[in-house]
Structure 1
Amino acid sequence: MINSVVKALRILELFSAAEPRLSLATISARLAMPKSTAHNLLMTLLAQGYIEKVDGDHYALGTTPLILTQRIRVNVEVRDPAAPILRALADATHESVYLTVRDGDFALYIYAVESPQRLEARTAVGDRAHLHCTSVGKAMLAYLDANDRAAILARQGLPAFTPATITDVETLATELALTCARGFALDRQEHERDTYCIGAPIFAAAGDLLGACSISGSDPEIVGARMTALAQQVVQSAQQISRLMGFVPTRPSAWARTAPHAS
């Protein structure tokens, strides 16, 4: 246990609806903590957005806890309804299945059904991945507003993770246009060696991009001879989850073209 982390958490727990603002002296006294220690911890929390300074010499909770709360709410609201659909997808394909949501410039893995054949023993849940090199990430990038997409690529670049990673903007643009046309994205060892994936986008009620789901495995035929059948299953699962989120496409027969995207 790291004592400084525990002390910082105890400071955060002092704030309440009844006492939204506390002074350094109050915090120090309540926790029987030297003022210098409390001040140093507050400065760290302040720098990370967990605490903000108000009314001169008082402190209040910052915006970071609110952002984390919103992320948890979104994760639960998406994950719990999607779980049975994704378990069925895993049973049907005999491959690992993942659910992700957009987390800023990255894809955040919030649910997984791991295949016994998966090369790594640990789960992917909690991992964040770049968008340009994963099937879930490319499924998201393809349906983002062009300005939003360009801003992400400007901030994060196109780092290479394997020799197969797309590191050229024009090549990526072609790949994303193809993703929109067919309704699913591919990962051909672009993020991890010996790993092949098919991902499809998930939309919220208003048609906004919410995240993506995928299947993943070590069989090269996932993006070869098995691709057509597997892609259909992934897209259908993404459609089911999107409907649970309240999304209704205007043209169900052309799902891939219902969400807004730029060419």
Structure 2
Amino acid sequence: MAQFADVAAAAACLHGLDRSDLVRCRAACQALRESACDPLTALLVKGRPTPTRAEQRVAALRAMGSVSAPKDAHRQTVANAAAGFLRDKEASVRLVAVATFAKAAAGLEDAATTAVSALGPVMTDVDPGVNAAAGRALLRLVPREHCAAKQVASLARRQMRNRDEWVICAALEALARFAGKSDALVQEVAPLVRGSPLWTVRLAAARALPALAPRGDAVACAALKAGADDHQPAVRRVAAAALIHLAASPWQPLLDKKAAEWEAARRPKRRKVARAGTAW
């Protein structure tokens, strides 16, 4: 193992190897695995295929994403290379570019700022899959307290105009994390709990409301009460749990339910009237 460590220390010796040899070196030991990352990444970036072959661009991006190293310089190289494909004409390439960029940028020192500058414009992508993937990537890369959080919330609010369910769900998740309390957003999100034809959107909206509305908010509570009677069990569970967080008192939803049951029990029951010619 000592000789492998010596070879790893002289990483320049690996730069003369081709791609297949470097892949085999990475399988030998941890030291060679780390030393082979830089030359292998350089080969992958330098050997990027021509823009006319989308399947090769996808393969190159996936290969770069699979080569991981702890050094920021290496991650920055992969992130920059992947960012160059975020405007590719093929949606499949852009989708893999988002994943590769997110994986590489996660180890950078200022990953949040880098991610917002690169993935922010992608949140308006015409392809719903790419659009939603960019929003989910920013959720992983941007901390809640970061200065770029408000910018992500603004981008997510634009995503709400999209008609695709997964884009809307990603936008709702981003708003819940970054937007903070907002009456305007409550007015926009609450109708989705009871009015959206997509149960995934109703679920995401019910999950987002506790983060957007203050405790006791009448609009949010009314929407969640309607969601608690949704025909989808998952929506009912999330809405009921969210209602406990938002109600003026945590016991209020239970008290309201018991009061409704009590009122129903007090209603006088109609007596059956026998029809002519029939016996009781």
TM-score normalised by the shorter chain: which range applies?
A: under 0.3
Larger radius of gyration: 2
Whose strand fraction is larger, Structure 1's or Structure 2's?
1
Higher relative contact order (CA 8 A, sep 6+): 1
Whose helix fraction is larger, Structure 1's or Structure 2's?
2
